[in-house]
Chains A and B, each alone.
Chain A
């Protein structure tokens, strides 16, 4: 169907200002948080109701037009990159909190609701929504479901998949599926898990029921400094080995602490090769007990400096440096490349050592700030795109890091998603048989392959080069959002 014909079909049930097709109107939608990839969509639609979403999908299904769903557009893997011959379906106008059940501790919300807005709305009941991706002030819950978003606290509180109960999903055929329920389990296949992290490839989520949990009474953080990164890695294992599941456990190497300290003055030990932030939360008694044990473990793990936050201001100060790490990388280097691999924790020291060796081999600095508790690495390769050949070297370096992650039994993406960015690396992680199953699952929901085509799962013939998050001169799409 020609663009104008499609526009006319959509305008039968949508007002003109919600169906955009003029080039200047389409521009804001040409990329998400991964701004290195850009594509102007054919049409942008902004439905206000579920009924409008269904009608849009029916038009697309009948005319075989590709559909790319978009939430707040903060994703880091290009999952919402538009299709040149497709419709970009923005769910930004579906932003109502429909119901809060403070007794059963659930909230029913539309996909455009911001992650943090849910916690803000239920704070009055002493409850909150646990997953806290770094972009939580801006990212939408619909996008969180599409990417299975995590955050600093997921070691203890889980990812999006662990914190949602029910979805209303519209299929490309315009049918409504109610998946999951307000009860704790439903019979049949676990489509709730299948939909979570499916990157808009299986259906369009129009309503989400999330689980709310009580706010912990207290939170405290221990900051431990080490003169050897291997000792810091051992300390991580020692904490877990002692039967403690910290609310968060983050590591920064020397390059990182030096980069952030200049801007944030968090009070990090600049002599240290690595620092660990280890947070405990829960009841007052639990936290007291755990903080004491964490302190002892850090001592036994040969930390050279251990400090515990004495109040909320100090706790936030300790965290401020960690949260400012990505922007700081952009300040100390013209460009940086961010990777997102997860590895079994026991291989942390080995992989970090490997990264160090590669860093010398390639003559490029690499800053490590990451979720040590769940082995989710975010190596930031510092480089200068204006130096001939440096970008290519960086890409090779990054590719080798991800290969190392796969070699030690890890994964190419812990929380940023595959999107368009890591589509090629999927071939390194999965064999033909698994990729065939992924395509088969996609076909079960979307036989014509109209939903977000070309993302998340590579076609079998496309198993070629590697890619990574590319940030030029700190020009992120949302430079103000903390990234951690």
Chain B
């Protein structure tokens, strides 16, 4: 494998001591070399207290608090690629974190399998590492489970450069604390993920998307009512007085549910759910702040000035403030926390507020202590999640 001496690779390969980058290519002898070099990079950074910005394909650069790009070096594992182990009858895939998410999904599809949590890519470069570190799940989440529900094991380097394995390749495992899930969604603040084992699922035999006209309050009521019945619903989306549902499963079951639920069948279901997952749908085409509001599914319509798109059976509400209007972050946050939810400033953080809903002081203290144990010098993605971490 040939790698050009770009800055990110130099850092990863531990050549930061070289005064002048040269055009020389470097042959990576083995995957082990990549790990050795990353370990070295982390150790050198820890010694010099140089912050490291962990980055895969860069598709989720927009997510999380800004890191000062000038005072941090990039640590990347995009060259650490490949599937380590995948046997479809095991329902488990282990892959290196630099592997493009698209490659993993293509391989799974060849065996009629999928990532059950339907992760958003947000760009062609999305890697497995970024997917797990950001902890984001797609439309199927409320019905099948979140990414953290599918992570079975991780291999990682902590802030001291220790090569660690947690969890494993089996569904049931209660030996030791669940560090694999702790790593999921930790935004690279606790370690550099190297390999991940994920539970995978069979592709449903058929999927059908149907749509019905409805008002917001009724839609929320219906989504909750149906989720309490044994129906093969695998995604919901409410926008512009239309409720769109996806049914997945055996053909007989899907047809029977369609008869029960009614509505109009949509021909391009695949394209529609892709536009929701990847945020290419009209609703998301805005440069105003995009808020991600996580609430109890049955909460009635949230009164906020602007547009909303509702996913996950009512539990996920995307909010964009209306044109010519402005809304203070605190207003959005108090509106969601008053109903027991939380608000993330997902995109276009123009107010430079904390992207993630601030936790209480007791909680931040526990977070801080955990961070300190994994990354004593505080070099891994400092403040990407919270300023205190």
Instruction: Kindly provide the distance from the CB of B317 to the nearest chain A CB, expressed in whole angstroms.
Output: 10
Query: Is A123 in contact with chain B by the CB < 8 A criterion?
Result: no
**Known interface pairs A184-B315, A346-B87, A410-B168; A198-B296 also in contact (CB < 8 Å):** no
Q: Can you list, as one digit per residue, whether each of B141-173 has a CB less than 8 Å from chain A (1) or not (0)?
A: 110011011000000001000111110111111
**Known interface pairs A161-B178, A434-B165; A190-B184 also in contact (CB < 8 Å):** yes
Q: Can you list, as one digit per residue, whether each of B331-351 has a CB less than 8 Å from chain A (1) or not (0)?
A: 000000000111010000000
Query: Is B276 in contact with chain A by the CB < 8 A criterion?
Result: no
Query: Is B19 in contact with chain A by the CB < 8 A criterion?
Result: no
Query: Is A4 in contact with chain B by the CB < 8 A criterion?
Result: no
**Known interface pairs A185-B294, A194-B177, A194-B178; A155-B171 also in contact (CB < 8 Å):** yes
Query: Is B253 in contact with chain A by the CB < 8 A criterion?
Result: yes
Bound complex: CA of A216 vs CA of B229, how far in Å? 8
Query: Is B271 in contact with chain A by the CB < 8 A criterion?
Result: no
Contacts of A126 in B (CB 8 A): 228-229
Query: Is A462 in contact with chain B by the CB < 8 A criterion?
Result: no
Query: Is A418 in contact with chain B by the CB < 8 A criterion?
Result: yes
**Known interface pairs A181-B342, A184-B141; A103-B177 also in contact (CB < 8 Å):** no
Contacts of A185 in B (CB 8 A): 135, 146, 185, 294
Instruction: Kindly provide the distance from the CB of B179 to the nearest chain A CB, expressed in whole angstroms.
Output: 6
| Size class of the A contact interface (CB-based, 8 Å) | 35 or more
Are A426 and B257 in touch, CB under 8 angstroms?
no
Contact partner of B179 (CB less than 8 A), chosen from A414, A437, A443, A445, is A437
Instruction: Kindly provide the distance from the CB of B383 to the nearest chain A CB, expressed in whole angstroms.
Output: 14
Chain B residues 105 to 137 lying within 8 A of chain A, measured CB to CB, are 112-113, 135
Bound complex: CA of A183 vs CA of B312, how far in Å? 10
Query: Is B181 in contact with chain A by the CB < 8 A criterion?
Result: yes
Query: Is B295 in contact with chain A by the CB < 8 A criterion?
Result: yes
Closest Cβ neighbor of A185 among chain B residues: B294
Interface contacts (Cβ under 8 Å), in number, total 267
Interface 9-residue window, one of A12-20, A241-249, A317-325: A241-249
Query: Is B373 in contact with chain A by the CB < 8 A criterion?
Result: yes
Interface 9-residue window, one of B44-52, B207-215, B279-287, B363-371: B363-371
Contacts of A178 in B (CB 8 A): 360, 363
Interface 9-residue window, one of A40-48, A53-61, A89-97, A369-377: A369-377
Query: Is B374 in contact with chain A by the CB < 8 A criterion?
Result: yes
Query: Is A286 in contact with chain B by the CB < 8 A criterion?
Result: yes
Chain B residues 22 to 65 lying within 8 A of chain A, measured CB to CB, are none
Contacts of B296 in A (CB 8 A): 101, 104, 106, 181-183
Q: Can you list, as one digit per residue, whether each of A168-187 has a CB less than 8 Å from chain B (1) or not (0)?
A: 00010001111001111111
Are A374 and B171 in touch, CB under 8 angstroms?
yes
Are A433 and B256 in touch, CB under 8 angstroms?
no
Query: Is A127 in contact with chain B by the CB < 8 A criterion?
Result: yes
Query: Is B186 in contact with chain A by the CB < 8 A criterion?
Result: yes
Query: Is A334 in contact with chain B by the CB < 8 A criterion?
Result: no
Contacts of A125 in B (CB 8 A): 228
Are B182 and A158 in touch, CB under 8 angstroms?
no
Which of B113, B173, B316, B369 lies at the interface centre, i.e. has the most chain A CB atoms within 10 A of its CB? B173
Are B340 and A440 in touch, CB under 8 angstroms?
no
Chain A residues 115 to 149 lying within 8 A of chain B, measured CB to CB, are 125-127, 147-148
Which of B141, B145, B174, B181 lies at the interface centre, i.e. has the most chain A CB atoms within 10 A of its CB? B174
Contacts of B203 in A (CB 8 A): 243
Instruction: Kindly provide the distance from the CB of B344 to the nearest chain A CB, expressed in whole angstroms.
Output: 6
Interface 9-residue window, one of B7-15, B89-97, B234-242, B320-328: B89-97
Are B202 and A197 in touch, CB under 8 angstroms?
no
Query: Is A111 in contact with chain B by the CB < 8 A criterion?
Result: no
Bound complex: CA of A478 vs CA of B106, how far in Å? 50
Query: Is B138 in contact with chain A by the CB < 8 A criterion?
Result: no
Query: Is A214 in contact with chain B by the CB < 8 A criterion?
Result: yes
Contacts of A413 in B (CB 8 A): 173-175
Are A103 and B298 in touch, CB under 8 angstroms?
yes
Query: Is A8 in contact with chain B by the CB < 8 A criterion?
Result: no
Which of B88, B177, B257 lies at the interface centre, i.e. has the most chain A CB atoms within 10 A of its CB? B177
Are B374 and A184 in touch, CB under 8 angstroms?
no
Are B177 and A197 in touch, CB under 8 angstroms?
yes
Query: Is A363 in contact with chain B by the CB < 8 A criterion?
Result: no
Are B366 and A191 in touch, CB under 8 angstroms?
yes
Are A411 and B228 in touch, CB under 8 angstroms?
no
Are B146 and A184 in touch, CB under 8 angstroms?
yes
Bound complex: CA of A193 vs CA of B167, how far in Å? 12
Query: Is A105 in contact with chain B by the CB < 8 A criterion?
Result: yes
Are A433 and B168 in touch, CB under 8 angstroms?
no
**Known interface pairs A188-B386, A433-B163; A438-B178 also in contact (CB < 8 Å):** no
Contacts of B340 in A (CB 8 A): 181-183
Contact partner of A175 (CB less than 8 A), chosen from B148, B229, B362, is B362
Bound complex: CA of A286 vs CA of B256, how far in Å? 10
Contacts of B166 in A (CB 8 A): 434, 437
Contacts of A241 in B (CB 8 A): 88-89
Chain A residues 396 to 420 lying within 8 A of chain B, measured CB to CB, are 409-418
Query: Is A153 in contact with chain B by the CB < 8 A criterion?
Result: no
Are A184 and B250 in touch, CB under 8 angstroms?
no
Are B185 and A184 in touch, CB under 8 angstroms?
no
Query: Is B301 in contact with chain A by the CB < 8 A criterion?
Result: no
Instruction: Kindly provide the distance from the CB of A210 to the nearest chain B CB, expressed in whole angstroms.
Output: 14
Contacts of B71 in A (CB 8 A): none
Instruction: Kindly provide the distance from the CB of B170 to the nearest chain A CB, expressed in whole angstroms.
Output: 4
Contacts of A441 in B (CB 8 A): 177, 179, 182, 370, 373
Bound complex: CA of A318 vs CA of B135, how far in Å? 41
Instruction: Kindly provide the distance from the CB of A297 to the nearest chain B CB, expressed in whole angstroms.
Output: 12
Query: Is A345 in contact with chain B by the CB < 8 A criterion?
Result: yes
Query: Is A215 in contact with chain B by the CB < 8 A criterion?
Result: yes
**Known interface pairs A285-B252, A415-B174; A158-B228 also in contact (CB < 8 Å):** no
Contacts of B316 in A (CB 8 A): 184
Bound complex: CA of A245 vs CA of B370, how far in Å? 36
**Known interface pairs A183-B342, A245-B201; A105-B230 also in contact (CB < 8 Å):** no
Bound complex: CA of A374 vs CA of B252, how far in Å? 27
Contact partner of A342 (CB less than 8 A), chosen from B146, B172, B179, B202, is B172
Contacts of B341 in A (CB 8 A): 181, 183
Instruction: Kindly provide the distance from the CB of B206 to the nearest chain A CB, expressed in whole angstroms.
Output: 11
Bound complex: CA of A190 vs CA of B175, how far in Å? 18
Bound complex: CA of A178 vs CA of B366, how far in Å? 12
Contacts of A63 in B (CB 8 A): none
Bound complex: CA of A214 vs CA of B226, how far in Å? 10
**Known interface pairs A193-B181, A433-B162; A243-B202 also in contact (CB < 8 Å):** yes
Contact partner of B176 (CB less than 8 A), chosen from A290, A346, A426, is A426
Are A433 and B164 in touch, CB under 8 angstroms?
yes
**Known interface pairs A103-B298, A194-B182; A286-B90 also in contact (CB < 8 Å):** no
Contacts of A344 in B (CB 8 A): 87, 90, 92, 169-170
Instruction: Kindly provide the distance from the CB of B62 to the nearest chain A CB, expressed in whole angstroms.
Output: 16
Q: Can you list, as one digit per residue, whether each of B283-325 has a CB less than 8 Å from chain A (1) or not (0)?
A: 0000000000011111000000000000010011000000000
**Known interface pairs A127-B228, A184-B146; A148-B369 also in contact (CB < 8 Å):** no
A-B contact pairs, 12 of them (CB 8 A): A104-B297, A106-B296, A161-B149, A181-B294, A194-B182, A240-B88, A243-B202, A283-B230, A289-B253, A346-B89, A429-B176, A437-B179
- Point out residues on A near B: beta carbons under 8 Å: 101-106, 125-127, 147-148, 150, 154-155, 158-159, 161-162, 171, 175-178, 181-191, 193-194, 196-198, 202, 214-217, 237-238, 240-241, 243-245, 282-286, 288-290, 342-346, 371, 374-376, 409-418, 422, 426, 429-431, 433-434, 437-438, 440-445, 456-457
